[in-house]
Structure 1
């Protein structure tokens, strides 16, 4: 039975099957380096008062100097001259969880450091700034014209990339990242500076930071205070350093001033961040595969797992804390895929792709040179996607169902060790592998509950067994079929009774035995045997075809992109997101999910109270303190006409990785933090529907209210640069630069140093 938590959002489905007439928003995730030539004029026509140079510059401080890649999976922004970093609550959730225990439950109660000494270190967490970016297409493609195969071409590219990275960062503490764009037609390099001392400063309780939970995830209207605060620390000379109590708060080149003036309908908005992955230029066959094959099965697998976790988390606080971040991650993609599939259908995405392909075929056939270059392209796409029949679904079940079982996924990391033991590798090499594995044991078992995983094991492997043709089963399934008559509950009983991987003590003993020279310490472990069987099948029967076909498809898409850009030469193309810095822009505006229904562009605290009092979902519980402030209307300077703004929507094109991205107004001031998309617009990773796509942001005034009035952490607000005059435009940004310059006496010298390094490189 599906849990109430999972079912609760389906009531909204009937509200999203119509067509709206909202003003089309701006599609695209644009490269900051190219804003001047591609977007500046359009952005200014839409109300922006900045220049492209104010957004991205290597000669002076600009907005890009306030933007960080937070941990490599989200975005954050500098909001004070003392390294204070703002991102989403769900981006910092893993760190909040790691610091939580039953005794100190920061997930439930929130956390606010009263002094810098109370801020909590987070080993492994990073904040990466972009120093500059550069078009390196010519250098990277040098010598590839004579390559006889794709493998040879890729080998040349990798050598060229290594050379360019090495030469670009020699003598500096910077790193270089080079990524392909338009399927390898272009290459851009990002010079980066990564800080490794990032400390937790503050987070609201989950009843605010995750208000609405899975019920409201991907939904609008939204009332979630999805934010958390961290601080970036630096060593001597304000440069990156490993954690040390002697490190000082980082002095950013730029921090975002915060506007208290709020947003109005049709206001210009800009989202600056690191969107993760989109596939806007897929062919109709690829979209059909996502819609009809991959998504339905992945949704079912994750829903099954979520039901099990949900029940066990409700029964135990310890399990709830262990699995909180895992549950959120699983549920996020699960619900997104549901919305994505609906959006694909609603936008007639497959039919529109087919129409574009028809136009492409006619265009190619109209010219002999084009026909020779592009004439067979669509037929080759068809052939290659047919070759993936059975392969994609097998891969999905292995990655989602088999590796969705924690004991299998963890045991799989020991397969290499077992292979070394069977090959009688030298003991010193075996011991080195054991030492690597020993470092992973404690982190894994800190958040592992074997009884819960046993239930997941039986349920997910049963799905794998029943929903995939037997000819695509790993060898271990034959044992389940013959010995247990396909009963995975009985199979789970044996595995979890006999495997060392059910406990930290068991694994540590096995590793100690291996170090002592016992070659058969893991030989008969049933979890390791199963993991090895699944991985063996994957490596021999799935990956060879999957890799070969995708290599073919990469070449086809590279050619297809070149052809589309040639055919539509008057169109401005943006590259798919690939976790590199991008700018999206649009306007604050409502939308209509169905005929006769129009959603406002903002929500208020009133809506939180209404949901909390409705009793409709457990996700709507709120802290007593928040209700008290509401009843007193004690909003301070953050309220407007007796109301407290909470969230708003705009037409910016965003995706995963944009979580935590600043939403910036026409004057370069922070007005909100992006944290989600509306459910009707989740298909925007594949196809853009201008009538439906909206990004959802928490209003900065609600964040300040929570920090100041709710948490009593006004000392953090005092660090920030609050602005009430939004009419001053660009001079406001210039004035703030002067202020920063006076606050940071060494700024000019550092700028000269950075500029000299840029010139030298």
Structure 2
């Protein structure tokens, strides 16, 4: 359990007259209540609760998995077949690609089990159990007033609970706080480490529209990829072995070819990463000014340098494709979030909620004693750390996430040279250093480092700059291009053999401390540590304020069903299919068709270029059983399900809990959704499962995968 992890956000779940409550919420399946179930039924859902979630019998939730480190997937066959997004599988596709076998550009199709490609390092996690341990923890910490000691005690108890389970490479146990540290759950996963790539469409399908269409509607992107989980003896998790067999899951999701209509029921189950729905007005202001704005600026500079190099070289394009996509996604998210928060007057709405809370507290002496200083804690905590947060964001974006040579130096600095065994050092070299160099270009990184040095110097106040800047300004007279050229000329870190010598030889490691890349990394690390120290006391005040604020809101609205903020645990969201009105006199329909590919296709654009043979296939309109009743092929569709990052690859189910699509994006007009849910604007974008099957069948000619599915026609 992460000691400093906070589940934050401000409630916007209040209802208009005549409604039970809005359809906001990423609900813990174990805690679905009568209100949730009644609303699901009202919207059209027919199965029972136990069919969706059960701790004893096979259920829909058993088929939903964590894919990799931050996505969701769905099990669709009794042979361990997993559907997820193309952008979720992108790292694996890139990892297995080369100039000779460019699976990013050309796609990948396996026609039998032997052709399926192992993906080193990729794992799939199935939820084993969820146990409420709130009573055990809260009974021990309820009398602790100091927030640091309270969090430390909860963390300690959580580790003891996890130790009783026994964390291994195949079992992952963690105690995670929910409801702003008011409840705690033990979450246990079975971890499958033999995962193989089965099918990937070319990027002209899986990433059609690129950055231009990212977070936008209408979409025409076939954002899917297919993998398979393999198991060892007795169907248990195992490391890769050629003798492993396809995993036989507890439950297999049915796949519907029946389509959907406007206002039909829609449900997602997945692993949303993080929301801040109970974030205070001061927290929102800090997010806008001191986190998002620096991130937007620094990533924009870095990505422009990367993009130019990627367009000039296929080798660099393949190396940097996954890194660029990951960086750009959060960059554009930050831009959209700031825009949405301003357009929707979220700060003013938060202030109104806080004023209502203050008025409620003032009505009762016991409330004053319990909640009287909550808003003061939050205001002081955020406003006192704004300057530190902004400086820290610039340093992290420029060096921790920007110049890769700094990150490489930090990796090596983290090795316990004396305490690590030879086997651990060999594993470090193979798993961390080999993979780093596979996707690294020093000449490109040198350009990035120069730009990062400049933007930090211009934006970070002198008192927060790493001390190394004083040395650089004295020796190089502010010429950062000359400085970075020297770093890359003199560093030992561009050689695999020299890095191995550093971590295996104490004398070499001691000399490494004077390596220019190591000196830069350490200087940045010290500055970040100092900034964290400046913020630490305030962060505990914020944590206490947010814990008590949620508890107060729950007491203030006893009849409301309040959902816990997302924290990358399994959640259910229910809603309906439907379009939306993005602006005055405008209306977006709830689905797109193949016509949009032909309208957008542009052979001169790297984002909208499509293989000629695929264009011919689309123009032929040979859509078979995957066409709708009008003969069109539906590509993507909209629901008002409440999702966020981590939900990528989440199954979208119909009223019968049958798979109709895979969630892959949100919409530009509601990028503030992680902080403020907007039912009239917020939409989940999914790829139609019929489009997925069309690409597999008609483009990939891979009928064996279609035959594995439990199709409902």
For normalisation by structure 2, the TM-score amounts to 0.93
* Residue 620 in structure 1 maps to residue 608 in structure 2: yes
> Is contact 1:445–1:503 with CA below 8 Å preserved after alignment?
no
Q: Distance in 1 between matches of 2:499 and 2:524?
A: 20
Q: String of CA shifts for 1:212-255, please: whole Å, max 9, x gaps.
A: 01010000000100000000111122121221111111111111
Q: Is 2:626 the counterpart of 1:634?
A: no
**What is the distance in 1 between the residues matched to 2:322 and 2:206?**
13
Q: Tell me the secondary structure at the aligned position of residue 289 of structure 1.
A: helix
Name the structure 2 match of 1:463.
455
Please give the residue correspondences for 1:185-334 in structure 2 after superposition, counting only pairs within 5 Å.
Answer: 185-334=182-331
Report if aligned partners of 1:274, 1:658 keep a CA contact under 8 Å in 2.
yes
Contact 2:80 2:248 in 1 (8 A): yes
The one-character-per-residue Cα deviations of 1:368-396 (angstroms, maximum 9, x if unpaired) are 11112112221222211122032101210
Cα distance per residue 1:429-468 (max 9 Å; x no partner)? 6978855653322111111001110111011121001011
Q: Secondary structure at the match of 2:258?
A: coil
The SS at the match of 2:131 is strand
Aligned to 2:152: 155
Offset, 1:509: 5.2
Distance (whole Å) between structure 1 residues aligned to residue 384 and residue 167 of structure 2: 45
Matches within 5 A, 1:416-455: 416=414, 435=426, 437-439=428-430, 440-455=432-447
Q: Secondary structure of 1:143's match?
A: helix
- Alignment-derived partner of residue 405 in structure 2: 407
In the alignment, is the contact (CA less than 8 A) between 2:158 and 2:175 conserved in 1?
Answer: yes
Give deviations 1:687-744, integer Å, cap 9, x for gaps: 11122100000000000000000111111101001102xxxxxxxxxxxxxxxxxxxx
2:488 to 476, 480, 496: 496
Whole-Å separation in 2 of the counterparts to 1:538 and 1:527:
17
Deviations 1:248-285 (A, max 9, x none): 11111111111111111101000000000111100000
Return the alpha-carbon distance in structure 2 between the equivalents of residues 437 and 490 of structure 1: 32
CA distance in 1, matches of 2:116, 2:466: 48
Q: CA deviation at 1:167?
A: 4.3
Shift of 1:172: 13
Q: Distance in 1 between matches of 2:661 and 2:391?
A: 42
Higher alpha-carbon deviation: 359-368 or 30-39: 30-39
2:528 to 524, 531, 538: 538
SS in 2 for 1:193: strand
* Pairing partner for 1:358 from 355, 359, 366: 355
Structure 2 residue 43 is the aligned partner of structure 1 residue 46:
yes
SS of the residue 1:545 aligns to: helix
- Paired with 1:570 and 1:317, the residues of 2 have a C-alpha distance of 58
2:689 is matched with which residue? 700
Contact (CA 8 Å) 1:125, 1:198: kept in 2 or not?
A: yes
Give the Cα–Cα distance (whole angstroms) in 2 for the partners of residues 170 and 389 of structure 1.
Answer: 38
> Aligned pair in 2 of structure 1 residues 172, 127: CA closer, same or farther (>3 Å)?
closer
Partner of 2:585: 596
Q: Deviations over 1:659-679 (max 9, x none)?
A: 000000000100000000011
Give the distance between the partners of 1:705 and 1:712, measured in 2 at CA.
Answer: 9
Q: Deviations over 1:614-641 (max 9, x none)?
A: x684311111222111221111111122
Residues 518-542 of structure 1 deviation map (CA, whole Å, 9 limit, x = unaligned)? 4653243111111111112222x21
SS in 1 for 2:266: strand
Which residue number in structure 2 is paired with residue 482 of structure 1? 474
CA contact (8 A) 1:209 1:226 kept: yes
Cα gap change, 1:467 to 1:64, in 2 (>3 Å): same
CA positional deviation for 1:164: 3.0
Structure 1 contact 222–647 (Cα < 8 Å) conserved: yes
Q: CA deviation at 1:151?
A: 3.3
Deviates more, 1:100-109 or 1:474-483: 474-483
Alignment partner, residue 652 of structure 2: 663
Give distance in 2, aligned partners of 1:343 and 1:460: 28
Contact 2:77/2:710, CA 8 A, preserved across alignment: yes
Given that residues 86 and 229 in structure 1 are in contact (C-alpha distance below 8 angstroms), is that contact kept between their aligned partners in structure 2?
Answer: yes
The Cα offsets for residues 600-619 of structure 1, whole Å up to 9 and x where unpaired, read as 11001110111005x68431
State how many pairs are aligned. Answer: 691
* SS of equivalent to 2:457: helix
Deviation at 1:171, TM superposition (A): 12
TM-score between the two structures when normalised by the length of structure 1:
0.88
Correspondence 1:81-160 to 2 at 5 A: 81-147=78-144, 149-160=146-157
Distance 1:306 1:122 in 2: 27
Could you tell me how far apart the structure 2 residues matched to 1:369 and 1:630 are?
68
CA distance in 2, matches of 1:240, 1:519: 38
- Please state whether the residue corresponding to 1:598 is helix, strand or coil: coil
C-alpha distance in 2 between matches for 1:612 and 1:347? 34
Pairing 1:522–2:522 present: no
Match of 1:685 in 2: 674
